[in-house]
Amino acid sequence: MKNLMIVESPAKAKTIERILGKDYRVVASFGHVRDLPKSKLGVDLEHDFQPQYIVPAKARKTVKMLKDMFKKADKVYLATDLDREGEAIAWHIVEAVKPKKDQEIKRVVFSSITKSAVNEAMGNSRSIDFHLVDAQQARRVLDRLVGYKLSPLLWKKIFKGLSAGRVQSVALRLIVEREREIEKFKPEEYWSIEGDYSQEKSEVKFRAKLIKVNDEEFKSDNQKYTKDLEKKMEGAKYEVVGIKSKEKSRQPHAPYITSTLQQDAYRKLGFTAKKTMLLAQKLYEGQNIDGKQMGLITYMRTDSRNISPEALSMIRKYIGENFDDKYLPEKPVFYKKAGKNVQEAHEAVRVTYASKTPDIAKSFLDKDMGRLYELIWKRTMACQMMPARYDTTSLDIEGEHKDDKFIFRANGIKMLFDGFLKVWDYSLKNGEDVVLPELVEKEKLDLKELFVEQHFTKPPARYSEATLVKELEKNGVGRPSTYASIMSTIQTRGYVQKEEKKFVPQEVGMLVNDFLVKHFANIVDVKFTAKMEDELDEIAVGKKEWVPVVRDFYEPFAMELREKEKNVKKEEVVGKEKIDEKCPECGKELQVKFSRYGKFVACTGFPECKYTKPLDVSEEDKKKVEEAAPCEKCGGAMIIKKSRYGSFLACSNYPKCKNIRSMTSQLDIDCPKCDLGKVVEKRSKKGRVFYGCSGYPKCDFAVWNEPTEEKCEKCGFIMTKYKSGKLGCEQCKKKDKLEDKGKKL
């Protein structure tokens, strides 16, 4: 074997091997082959923070395979991803395999897996870039020092099982601070007045909003004043006093970078950042399109808005051949950098083949992958098309009643040329042009109807995945490769939960955040964390050495750790609250304790007595416990416990009996499948509400939408209520789907 190439994933290996041909063997490392040990710190604090890497058990077989392959190869090409982590993986492979000193080993990188990109990379091979390796190593060491040094302190001062992360803790702080802004918010009343107008002897109406009363801006915070104005306006005479028209243009959006792709995929498709990156990874590594394995997009972890000259030619050629000439700019469109440390050698996230339209690609891709590909294809085309042009009209209407004057304003918009919007989905007000009638100054108008509404100011919105990524990026916290893991980690730890797709901090998350803000301000300081990211960027380009950067962070951090461990008492953090109640099992006093799921009541006789119960139990939940049947496994009484997804019933004989039962809300509807049980509300492992039979597991009836008492006229199954409010039949819907796919029922 002459040539060996190593990549991270089998899918990527398959795509590249097809491009390179029979003279190359392409194999996968399956990600990292070395890492820090999980059982200890793994960083030598006495010798310049040297990492003590090991080959994890799951990677040993891969390393053995790679050693055998290295021995058989004349040349080895390390083609791991083009970011810092990919560079580090390439270096770890060499360190783990320990090849012969004279063996030729080259590093190749490409932002897309196409024939031209791979061949160009092969012609520009290089050695491993140790500046990039050092930057990744510094990040890994910093994160390990924070995680393994700070987490044990959280165990001592709060409770066991907690953890802290260098970047995740900043994200948690943003979420907690937003929640407290919402809690402090006091809504303020305000009123609006709008009117429907028409030309004399015309039934065509248009709407205008009151902006001025007697030459002062209209503001009202009470009903009486607003209603008095309404009466005066009803008797006023109206005429046009000002018309302004202006042609405006709307520029196309820049091509996607990681953060904007994640934000758009969330807003338009409802995808989490994690799901977006998993799908994008598959599109990048290659999919089978019409019998050929090909990479469909460029590398998805990037902060560069750059598009290669070859790609620009390809995109412009497609636009020129498939759209009218007026849609193609005279020259390619270039975009400003997204930040100060952007690696312009990288490319934006774009499609690799303009001719592989969404309709073509989607016929070979699964549904979600096809939807994401369509989003990227449209953005790729749109960013190199002409701006959209439209007319805007501002119309001022004056009303006069005795000594009072009122100014209403109407705004119109009319599309003149759609430009990039030809491919990019858009909407104007109400999804269409707002065209005002042809009017002239001093023209008399008829007031048809007034609309007076009371409003209240709203608190700032909780962060969604899209808005949190935007905020992190704006503050320089995290990098393209870390956004998805940041949000995944704070949820896995139970510090935040999603409610209606928004992040809500949990009690334990607030407790951890408050402890860190008070005692480790730098760890959760946005500016400090952003400065650390900048220093990592400087290491990556050779402007700084990694060891001094880590030392400058660690030495003051270690001093703080020692001081807080000595002086901060647990009671100061979580409190020590006893309740006027005795343990029903051993008679000792009960006290309030804290767990990752919030406060609960426990016996002071722990660990000899393991009695616990929720702190606050509603009357409804108490009734559920009283009505709950004994444990079906051992006959013990059922008690309420809490998890990250809320309350549930558990056997009181735990740990001898580990039976649990959901705290179901029972609907007064018979199960349509077995006719024996009742339909109850349940939660999936991910916390999503669904409806199933109370007789589970004997009956496996389950639907996502809320069942009703209505029956389907076609099949007799119960109708369910969709989010839109419409009723539908789950059974017929499933049958139709299967028939569309040609499957037998």
Give me the active site residues, please.
Answer: 299
Measure the N-to-C terminal CA separation of the chain; round to a whole number of Å.
51
- Sequence letter at residue 294: M
* Residues with Cβ within 8 Å of residue 188, at least 6 apart in sequence: 221, 456, 457
Reduced to 3 states (helix: H, G, I; strand: E, B; else coil), residue 449 is strand
Do residues 548 and 542 touch, judged by C-beta distance below 8 A? no
CB–CB of 239/397 below 8 Å? Answer: yes
Residues 6+ apart with CB under 8 A from 703: 690, 691, 692, 720, 730
Q: Where are the beta strands (DSSP E) in 402-541?
A: 404-417, 444-456, 496-499, 502-505
Spell out a b/e string for 310-319, using b for 16 or more CB atoms within 10 Å of the CB, else e.
ebbebbbebb
DSSP code string of 340-355: TT--TTS--B-BS-TT
CB 706 within 8 A of CB 725: no
The rounded distance, in Å, linking the Cα atoms of 125 and 122 is 5
Q: Token pair of 666, please?
A: 């029972």
> What are 654's two structure tokens?
């735990």
Residue pair 735/743 in contact by the 8 Å Cβ criterion: no
Write the CB contacts of 283 (distance below 8 Å, at least 6 apart in sequence).
295, 296, 297, 300, 369, 372, 373, 376
Helix or strand or coil: residue 429? Answer: helix
Q: Give the SS3 label for residue 321.
A: helix
Interatomic CA distance for residues 627 and 381, integer angstroms: 62
d(CA 373, CA 356): 10
Residues 6+ apart with CB under 8 A from 45: 554
Query: Rounded to whole angstroms, how far apart are CA atoms 454 and 192?
Result: 7
* Bond preceding residue 607 cis, omega within 30 of 0: yes
Measure the CA dihedral 533/538/540/543, to 10°: -160
CA distances from 709 to 442, 683, 716, 733 (A): 61, 21, 11, 18
Output the six-digit token pair for 590. 């009960």
Beta strands in 218-291 (DSSP E): 237-250, 287-289
> What is the C-alpha separation between 254 and 592, in angstroms, rounded?
54
**Is-contact 382 316, C-beta < 8 A?**
no
CB 311 within 8 A of CB 350: yes
Give the distance, in angstroms, between the CA of residue 709 and the centroid of all CA atoms in the same chain.
37
Hey, is 534 helix, strand or coil?
Answer: helix
d(CA 709, CA 214) in angstroms, rounded, equals 58
Closest CA relative to residue 112, chosen from 329, 370, 349: 349
Please say whether the beta carbons of 121 and 109 come within 8 A. Answer: yes
CB of 287 closer than 8 Å to CB of 502: no
Question: d(Cα 604, Cα 606) in Å, to the nearest integer?
Answer: 5
Q: Under a CB-based contact definition with an 8 Å cutoff, are residues 111 and 257 in contact?
A: no
